Amino acid sequence: MNIKRERFRIGSAPGAENDMTGQMKTAVMKKGLHPGALIHVGERKVEKVRLTVMDYNQDMFVERELGTVDESLEYADRETVTWINVNGLHDTEKVNRIGEHFGIHPLVLEDILDTEKRPELDDYVDYIFIILKMILVDKETGRIDAEQVSLLLCKNTVISFQEGEGDVFEFIRERIRTGKGRIRKAGADYLVYTLTDAVVDNYFVALEEIGELIEDIEEELLEDPGAETLKDIYGLKRELVLLRKYTFPLRELVHKFQISESPLIDRNTKLYIRDLYDHAMQIMDTTESYGDMISGMLETYLSISSNRMNEVMKVLTVMATIFIPLTFIAGIYGMNFENMPELEHHLGYPGVMVLMLIVGIGMVYFFRRRKWI
């Protein structure tokens, strides 16, 4: 069980900067700035902001890495589906440039750059804006971390913004390249669905990890609980509180997606979004179930603890209670009075020994009847 021991340590965890209180920094950092001022809130996770573009339709596809934002614009105005992906958010100028070209509201750009937003979907008529959380579980510390992924669905164009380099979209690119499945035949809305689905599927990975942790700790709890078990349970509870914050808005997000009447979303894609909604519900269900289980574990821990103390107390009580009167008897005949006739009697010693035996057996009998031994 020791491999998990380093989990949930507070303060020393590398991912600890990005925890709950981190979310407050936005407001503090931004006080004094007018609303809509572009400022990147969050850790700088990549060296250099990187832009890539994929442009495709049923018959062809183009994939390019771009130097400047303007290079992407030539693709955006075509009839083909264009996917512009931005890795890294600290170059606010580039984000601003994209915003200008596609007519994105400054508040939206601000939200893209503020990596502490909750998941949500907003329909701005000309485009749909989605904020998602990519859940990552730090294998080292077991702590949950979340990277923000923002999606903009414009006409024929999808723009995705990510904080860091590595993503869960590689398999989607591969599918576009090879033309497998429906993706090359469908429009930009289907691409947004696919991207959202990829991020949502990542929740399952995190849940699976947590599920395994629960099973481990459960086993430990029922087999050999110790002070560490308690810390593990507490840590788990803490992570789940965090996870719930990312999970609960998801349902509303997908629901809005599903009922949206925006012309940007094709009726055929709706069926897929319904599927996504089921996933969101399943994630919520499981998160809730995990919460119930962890509560049960805390209660059970307390009961087991109490049980154990009972065991310890019983042994102490039995030992002490048997020997205390015996020692007292021995103490009496250890007194130095001159006038103690029993001491001189030749049957005094064996008599006292027999008395002690009787008392001792009586005690044992008493405990047996109480089912303590």
Rounded to the nearest 10°, the torsion over CA 295, 289, 7, 135 is -140
The yes or no reply on residue 334 touching a copy of itself (CB under 8 A) is yes
> Which helix or strand (DSSP H or E) is residue 123 part of?
strand 120-123
Judged by CB under 8 A, which of 38, 326, 359, 364 binds a copy of itself?
326
Part in contact with a copy of itself (CB under 8 A); list of ranges 65-73, 78-86, 158-166, 306-314: 306-314
Part in contact with a copy of itself (CB under 8 A); list of ranges 59-67, 74-82, 91-99, 194-202: 194-202
Contact positions with a copy of itself (CB under 8 A) in 127-156:
none
Quick check: 118 and 148 in contact, CB under 8 A?
Answer: no
Q: Which is it for the CA torsion 121, 122, 124, 129, positive or negative?
A: negative
Q: What letters, b where the CB count within 10 A reaches 16 and e where it falls short, cover 195-232?
A: bbbbbbebbeebbebbeebbeebbebbeeebeeebbeb
Judged by CB under 8 A, which of 1, 38, 46, 352 binds a copy of itself?
352
Measured CA to CA, the distance from residue 83 to residue 157 in angstroms comes to: 6
For 233-263, the DSSP string reads: HHHHHHHHHHHHHHHHHHHHHHHHHHH---T
Side chain identity, residue 371: K
Contact positions with a copy of itself (CB under 8 A) in 4-33:
10-11, 20-21, 23-28, 30-33
Contact positions with a copy of itself (CB under 8 A) in 88-107:
105, 107
The yes or no reply on residue 230 touching a copy of itself (CB under 8 A) is yes
Q: How many CA within 13 A on the CB side of residue 298?
A: 12
Judged by CB under 8 A, which of 60, 62, 259, 271 binds a copy of itself?
271
Judged by CB under 8 A, which of 17, 63, 65, 208 binds a copy of itself?
208
Which CB atom, from 67 or from 331, has the smaller least distance to a copy of itself?
Answer: 331
Side chain identity, residue 10: I
Report residue 146 as tokens: 């979340």
The yes or no reply on residue 355 touching a copy of itself (CB under 8 A) is no
Part in contact with a copy of itself (CB under 8 A); list of ranges 40-48, 62-70, 135-143, 276-284: 276-284
Part in contact with a copy of itself (CB under 8 A); list of ranges 39-47, 50-58, 144-152, 192-200: 192-200
The yes or no reply on residue 357 touching a copy of itself (CB under 8 A) is no
Judged by CB under 8 A, which of 183, 188, 254, 265 binds a copy of itself?
183
Judged by CB under 8 A, which of 47, 48, 336, 369 binds a copy of itself?
336
Judged by CB under 8 A, which of 39, 313, 354, 357 binds a copy of itself?
313
With CA atoms as reference, report the closest residue to 273 among 285, 288, 261: 261
The yes or no reply on residue 126 touching a copy of itself (CB under 8 A) is no
Which CB atom, from 24 or from 361, has the smaller least distance to a copy of itself?
Answer: 24
What is the CB neighbour count within 10 angstroms for residue 342? 12
Part in contact with a copy of itself (CB under 8 A); list of ranges 51-59, 66-74, 86-94, 313-321: 313-321
Quick check: 8 and 232 in contact, CB under 8 A?
Answer: yes
For 163-187, the DSSP string reads: SSS--S-HHHHHHHHHT-TTTTTS-
Part in contact with a copy of itself (CB under 8 A); list of ranges 56-64, 74-82, 136-144, 226-234: 226-234
Judged by CB under 8 A, which of 97, 173, 238, 255 binds a copy of itself?
238
Q: Which residues contact 309 (CB under 8 A, 6 or more apart)?
A: none
Report residue 28 as tokens: 């503090």
Measured CA to CA, the distance from residue 240 to residue 124 in angstroms comes to: 33
Judged by CB under 8 A, which of 100, 165, 275, 373 binds a copy of itself?
275
> Which helix or strand (DSSP H or E) is residue 223 part of?
helix 188-223
The yes or no reply on residue 305 touching a copy of itself (CB under 8 A) is yes
The yes or no reply on residue 266 touching a copy of itself (CB under 8 A) is no
The yes or no reply on residue 361 touching a copy of itself (CB under 8 A) is no
Min CB(259)–a copy of itself separation in Å: 15
